[in-house]
Amino acid sequence: MQTDFLVIGSGIAGLTYALKVAQDCPDKTVTILTKTQSDETNTKYAQGGIAGVMDADNDSFEKHIEDTLVAGDGLCNRHVVEIVVKEGVERIREIIAWGAQFDKEPDGDFKLGKEGGHSEYRILHHKDVTGMEMERALLAAIKRRPNIRLISHCFVLDIITQHHLGYLVTKSTPDIECYGVYVLDLSTNKIEKILAGTTMLASGGNGQVYRTTTNPAIATGDGVSMVYRAKGRIENMEFIQFHPTALYEPGVRGQSFLITEAVRGDGGILRNQNGEAFMERYDPRKDLAPRDIVARAIDNEMKVAGTEHVFLDCRHFSREKFIEHFPNIYEKCLSIGVDISKDMIPVAPAAHYSCGGIKTDEWGRTSIKNLYAAGECASTGLHGANRLASNSLLEAMVFAHRAYLDTMAQSNTGSLSREKNRNELIPDWNASGTSSPREMILITQSVKELKLLMSDYVGIVRNNERLLRANRRLDLLHEETEALYERTAVSPQLCELRNMITVAYLIVKGASFRHESRGLHYNTDFPEKSPILQNTIL
């Protein structure tokens, strides 16, 4: 199969880019691939909203820029922060024009929320299901474009580069080029190659590497892992953001339900087992301190008391007001016997967001030619050592737009026809010597071990010995999984395990390189900040 523009991922980043190139190039084909259903993305689960300076009377670009820089703890790229904050407002207006609706006051102004680290009310939201509303609007707009083809249940295995033409490709090879991808079509169980003039990687996050995460099952870091295998540049993987308040439900594995930070923005108070509002002891901003601080404080309270959760107290809210802003959370809590007007909500931190990823420049270009990256899989320089709440939907749209502008400016846009000879040389996927997996337990048990070791050794608080142990155990998992991969027919489960091991290895490597504590990376053996500011390039 051939396509002019190939987009991997149907979340906010992929859909925004696809819409824009399709609109500008009606004669060219845009193909979007997604590994499960089209709307099963991190985007769909976003609750709190999207940050943007919409109230110029009380807010300003400078304030939003400053809040982002403070959260990022010295590692944000100021130029990129300015780009995202300033261009973000236009992107928000655009998605509204595509049909997304955000809550409004009776006078027609947007209802603006507040979250940790924000000095002003600037979060647009659609009740507590903002991501679902944005995803809905984007998918509806995609349907209206006849030159876009969205293929669901299509698992991308690897990026095709010169390596597949038989050349030696290393990290120092200049001009590594992306020609397209190999995919496992889950409807036919066949492996195909899809060749593309330009590829956009918008494959999302990697929260599934941890035992407890707010991310859905699709978030296994496939894009980062593919780019690493293709010898592209990855950076800052040690900065994994743990959301302070995922709903604690004993026995629930996989995805945890999020209790949005907007609840604390509206006045929710964190309390420990003794009922103490403990955040006062940790930070003058109390419950609305940046996420890294709140998550560490909760982790400490849980360790001191030997418990598996703390509480979020909303008993002082008016029930009607709570239901108006957070209907989904209200229902979810009720479904597990928690009536927020009488009971406190049990909460615990959970892996939530990957601040690092595929290194891009300010136009979304990766170190591999013809390959862009945007959204959570990318590391643009916006988040630094810790992402400010509600900045990621904004970043995804701004960088999808910038990548689209850059794509349009390239002279070889849609260059497939000129490359016919080379395309014919790209081999089909080689599955010789492999057979169907005999025992799925070999995969499922390794996934469990991986999640456990990452949560116990590479979680909110780290130290050198734990990182060393994690590395040793990952080596073994890597060795066993590569051996399995050599002899077994590929399946999403096997590929995801392999990708998660790679991502875990990159997180551990980044954490081991960083001899300091900064933002989301806290190592008790290096509790201070280093005077040297640097990104971890992997």
- CB nearer to ligand SIN: pick between 158 and 376: 376
Report the C-alpha gap between 71 and 69 in whole angstroms: 6
**Integer Cα distance of 378 and 385 in angstroms:** 14
Structure tokens at 34: 């997604």
473 is catalytic: no
Shortest distance in whole angstroms from residue 36 CB to ligand FAD: 6
Does the footprint of ligand FAD cover residue 52 (CB under 6 A)?
no
Candidates 91, 122, 271, 291; catalytic one: 291
Stretch that binds ligand FAD, among 45-53, 93-101, 415-423, 514-522 (CB under 6 A): 45-53
Binding ligand SIN by CB under 6 A: which of 34, 47, 162, 272?
A: 47
Residue 83 phi/psi, 5-degree rounding, is -60, -50
If the CB atoms of residues 184 and 310 are measured against ligand SIN, the closer one turns out to be 310
Closer CB to ligand SIN, 36 or 328, in the complex:
328
By the 8 A CB rule, do 369 and 233 touch?
no
Q: Which of 45, 182, 248, 282 binds ligand FAD (CB under 6 A)?
A: 45
Query: How many other C-beta atoms are found inside a 10 Å radius of the C-beta of residue 442?
Result: 16
Contact with ligand FAD (CB under 6 A) among 22, 202, 295, 497: 202
Q: Which residues contact 483 (CB under 8 A, 6 or more apart)?
A: none
Taking the least distance from each CB to ligand SIN, the nearer of 30 and 51 is 51
| Residue 34 touches ligand FAD, criterion: CB under 6 A | yes
Question: What, of ligand SIN, ligand FAD, none, does residue 142 touch, CB below 5 to 8 Å by kind?
Answer: none
Per-residue contact string for residues 144-173; x = within reach of ligand FAD by CB under 6 A: -----------xx-----------------
Comparing CB distances to ligand SIN, the nearer of 150 and 355 is: 355
Say how many C-beta atoms besides its own lie within 10 A of residue 56's C-beta: 9
CB proximity list for 159: less than 8 A, separation 6 or greater: 178, 180, 181, 199, 201, 226, 227, 229, 230, 368, 371
- 130 in contact with ligand FAD (CB under 6 A): yes
CB-CB contact of 122 with 51 (8 Å): yes
Nearest to 150, CA basis, from 30, 287, 312: 30
Is residue 67 involved in binding ligand SIN (CB under 6 A)? no
Residue 522 binds to ligand FAD (criterion: CB under 6 A)? no
Residue 494 C-beta: closest distance to ligand FAD, Å: 12
Among 239, 353, 457, 505, binds ligand FAD (CB under 6 A): 353
Task: Determine contact, residues 29/416, Cβ cutoff 8 Å.
Answer: no
How far is C-alpha 69 from the geometric centre of its chain's CA atoms?
Answer: 19
Of 9, 48, 221, 381, the one binding ligand SIN by CB under 6 A: 48
CA pair distance 33, 519, nearest whole angstrom? 34
Check residue 42 for interaction with ligand SIN (CB under 6 A). no
Neighbours of 166 (CB within 10 A): 8
Helix, strand, coil in percent for the chain, rounding step 5: 40, 20, 40
Please state the closest distance from residue 392 (CB atom) to ligand SIN, in A: 6
Using CB under 6 A, count the residues that bind ligand SIN: 9
Binding segment for ligand FAD among 52-60, 201-209, 272-280, 422-430 (CB under 6 A)? 201-209
In the chain, the amino acid numbered 533 is: L
CB 500 within 8 A of CB 478: no
For 283-374, list the strands marked E by DSSP: 310-313, 345-354, 357-359, 371-373
**Residue from 334, 351, 483, 402 nearest 79 by CA:** 402
Say if CB 138 and CB 132 are below 8 A apart: no
Nearest approach, Cβ of 201 to ligand SIN (angstroms)? 21
Using CB distances below 5 to 8 A depending on partner kind, what does residue 113 bind out of ligand SIN, ligand FAD, none?
A: none
Which partner in ligand FAD, ligand SIN, none is near 43 (CB below 5 to 8 A by kind)? ligand FAD
Q: Does 389 bind ligand SIN (CB under 6 A)?
A: yes
Among residue numbers 247 through 286, which ones bind ligand FAD (CB under 6 A)? 258
41 binds, among ligand SIN, ligand FAD, none (CB under 5 to 8 A by kind): ligand FAD
Residues 6 or more apart whose CB falls under 8 angstroms from that of 456 comprise 466
Residue in the structure block whose two tokens are 């894009």: 223
Identify residue 516 by its one-letter amino acid code: E
Residue numbers of the site for ligand SIN (CB under 6 A)? 47-48, 260-262, 353, 389-390, 392
- Report, as residue numbers or ranges, the catalytic residues: 291
Residue numbers of the site for ligand FAD (CB under 6 A)? 8-14, 33-36, 41-43, 45-50, 130-131, 155-156, 202-205, 214-215, 218, 222, 258, 353, 375-377, 390-393, 396
